[in-house]
Amino acid sequence: MAKDEKMDKGITVKKGDDLSEWYTQVVQKAELADYGPVQGTIAYRPTAYAIWEHIQEIFNGMMRSTGHRNVYFPMFIPENLLTKEKEHIEGFAPEVFWVTHSGDNKLAERLAVRPTSETIIYTFYSKWVRSWRDLPLLLNQWCNIARAEIKSTKPFIRGSEFLWQEGHTVHATKEEADEEVMRMLNFYKELVEEYLAIPVIMGKKSEREKFAGALYSATFEPMMPDGKALQGGTSHNLGQNFSKPFDIKFLDKDNTSKYAWTTSWGISTRLIGATIMVHGDDKGLVLPPKIAPVQVVIVPIFKTGEDAAVLKKADEIRKALASHGILVLLDASEGKTPGWKFSEHEMKGVPVRIEIGPKDIASKSVVAVRRDTGEKKGIPEREVGASVMALLAAIQSNLLAKARDALQKQITETDDYAKLKSTIETKGGFVVSSWCGADACELRVKEETGATIRAIPFEEPKKLGNCLICGKRAKHKAYFARAY
């Protein structure tokens, strides 16, 4: 393993210099994804997919606690269903992949490969919902989604096929649907902040930015290091906009037939992309311990003649850590120097590295190295389980604290349009400004700066100035930013 080869494997740009190129390299060199033959498609490799499985497990637990159940609906949506809700199809039409043939036969009707599943799911719900006793109906599916992407694609962030969950619920009243929208958004916030260590801004979308067909959309938006926001996931109150064309009615307790209220909400493998961007550094990926497929890697340091003793000790340490429920890998692979292994596991973002050599055996201790700070410290062998648990907890908190700090620095408050413009142009980030609520003002900002309203916070602002564009009395504080 010559030094040159090691360099080849490393990232050749600094994260701060060129986030985009850095990201592309990390995704490939940490073996998270590889590009498919169709534009915008990728293979999710084991590390990335394991993170997704972790996210599934966590969110499934949250959903179970509130009575949501998992299901699976068909992927093919006949054209006449997809087009039933007018705004919906207008929003999705340009991105739909159409199946026109099976074998050599032309189909009588084109089938959309689901770009989202409201229309196919509601076709079933109109049969399943009959009475108030059937409500609320709380179902969720984990599946793949296809949207032909014309904008530049980026693994995990924007692609023509991705994985997500989509919850679809039916309620008797608007109030219950409102509660559901917030319940799920709060679950998302907890998932993303507590596990992925990424702080978020939450709020409503503007009319312009809401989901095609929704009454309103709520969102959570993390901020990326290059000053662009990323829509992390959304939760929509669809009102009766779908229950009417799809005829989802129930007989209420008062014996009258009413249209139901529906919601949908989703997060996707985009969250993997956010995790890479927010925490990674010039050495590669940095994974929060709570979602790392490997939390600790043990690298034995061999010296001639002492390999067996070192390996035996390394395996003892592995077992001690595993007995604490820690996900631990002993990298005993041959033909690689310890230095090579250090770089490889740093690239892959493993939170803690443990080194064990003859000297450590003599002193009955091991060396632990933090991926986030690079800090090294000796740990007495008999405390290794508890110490590493504490270390993993410390890394998790530190990553969140650092990300919170970064987010704070990326928020600029101003009602001065010139300052918004210059901020968006230079450092980016969120610019929080007073806004009258008019689409024309929002559109002007978008056209002149590329920034859109990412979120309108749920809390009433303490003081409201005048609209940054028209100068009229503002209705909201809005978070403006450029976005992925």
Min dist. Cβ of residue 240 to a copy of itself (A): 22
CA gap 234, 181 in Å, rounded: 9
Min dist. Cβ of residue 93 to a copy of itself (A): 6
Chosen residue from 27, 89, 96, 276 binding a copy of itself by CB under 8 A: 96
Integer-rounded Cα Rg, in Å, for the chain is 25
CA gap 236, 263 in Å, rounded: 5
SS3 246: coil
Pairing of strands 42-44, 76-78: unpaired
Min dist. Cβ of residue 403 to a copy of itself (A): 27
The yes or no reply on residue 94 touching a copy of itself (CB under 8 A) is: yes
C-beta separation of 215 from 239 below 8 A: yes
CA gap 254, 257 in Å, rounded: 9
Chosen residue from 100, 323, 363, 397 binding a copy of itself by CB under 8 A: 100
Chosen residue from 22, 44, 250, 480 binding a copy of itself by CB under 8 A: 44
Count of positions on this chain that bind a copy of itself (CB under 8 A): 55
CA gap 350, 400 in Å, rounded: 17
Min dist. Cβ of residue 189 to a copy of itself (A): 25
Q: Which of residues 334-363 bind a copy of itself (CB under 8 A)?
A: 335
Q: Which of residues 111-150 bind a copy of itself (CB under 8 A)?
A: 111, 113, 120-121, 123-124, 127-128, 133, 139, 143-144, 146, 148
Nearer to a copy of itself, 99 or 389 (CB): 99
The yes or no reply on residue 72 touching a copy of itself (CB under 8 A) is: yes
The yes or no reply on residue 458 touching a copy of itself (CB under 8 A) is: no
CA gap 4, 9 in Å, rounded: 9
Min dist. Cβ of residue 23 to a copy of itself (A): 20
The yes or no reply on residue 1 touching a copy of itself (CB under 8 A) is: no
Nearer to a copy of itself, 142 or 259 (CB): 142
Chosen residue from 6, 45, 402, 404 binding a copy of itself by CB under 8 A: 45
Nearer to a copy of itself, 322 or 367 (CB): 322
The yes or no reply on residue 36 touching a copy of itself (CB under 8 A) is: yes
Strand partners, 220: 202, 233
The yes or no reply on residue 99 touching a copy of itself (CB under 8 A) is: yes
Chosen residue from 38, 386, 390, 443 binding a copy of itself by CB under 8 A: 38
The yes or no reply on residue 163 touching a copy of itself (CB under 8 A) is: yes
CA gap 199, 407 in Å, rounded: 7
Min dist. Cβ of residue 98 to a copy of itself (A): 4
C-beta separation of 223 from 245 below 8 A: no
* Contact range with a copy of itself by CB under 8 A, out of 88-96, 311-319, 349-357, 386-394: 88-96
Listed residue (149, 148, 223) closest to 405, CA to CA: 223
The yes or no reply on residue 276 touching a copy of itself (CB under 8 A) is: no
C-beta separation of 145 from 115 below 8 A: yes
Locate all alpha helices (DSSP H) within 227-287, ordered by sequence.
Answer: 270-279
What are the C-alpha distances in Å from 208 to residues 91, 275, 441? Answer: 11, 28, 11
- Token representation of residue 365: 């201790």
Chosen residue from 1, 7, 93, 443 binding a copy of itself by CB under 8 A: 93
The yes or no reply on residue 50 touching a copy of itself (CB under 8 A) is: yes
Counting other chains too, the contacts that 194-197 makes at CB distance below 8 Å and 24 or more residues apart are 194/290, 195/54, 195/55, 195/58, 195/288, 195/290, 195/291, 196/55, 196/271, 196/274, 196/275, 196/288, 196/290, 196/291, 197/278, 197/279, 197/288, 197/290, 197/396, 197/399, 197/400, 197/403
Q: Which residues bind a copy of itself (CB under 8 A)?
A: 34, 36-38, 41-46, 49-50, 52-53, 69-76, 78, 81, 93-105, 111, 113, 120-121, 123-124, 127-128, 133, 139, 143-144, 146, 148, 160-161, 163, 335
